[in-house]
Amino acid sequence: MASTHIEISSVTSRYSSEFRSLVDRLRDIQELSQKLKDIGDQLAAGADWTSLGTALGVSAGDAETVYNLLAATNTLLQGETVSLMLDRLG
């Protein structure tokens, strides 16, 4: 089976350098998002928004909102399109 990896050089042009940087940063963001989601899951276990709020320095209500926004963002970052991009170009 032929390789599906596409190697993008970071030295060919400014565009290729910035594109390579995008792929590298996206992988970092994907990993950080998952890490924060995993920690948030533990902090907010049993819908304990007060504990999560304390860790974030926000109210319990805001903590729930932050958690839900992170969960939605993490779902997108772990999704098929981003994962395929990182698998093929990463």
pTM: 0.87
Taking only the tens place, the pLDDT of each residue in 57-90 is 999 999 999 999 999 999 999 999 999 999 999 8
d(CA 72, CA 79): 11
Q: Of the candidates 45, 46, 47, 67, which has an alpha carbon nearest to the alpha carbon of residue 56?
A: 67
What tens digit of pLDDT does each residue of 2-12 get? 789 999 988 99
Q: Give the C-alpha separation, 20 to 43, whole Å.
A: 35
The C-alpha R_g of the chain, in whole angstroms, comes to: 17
Token pair of 48 as six digits: 């304990």
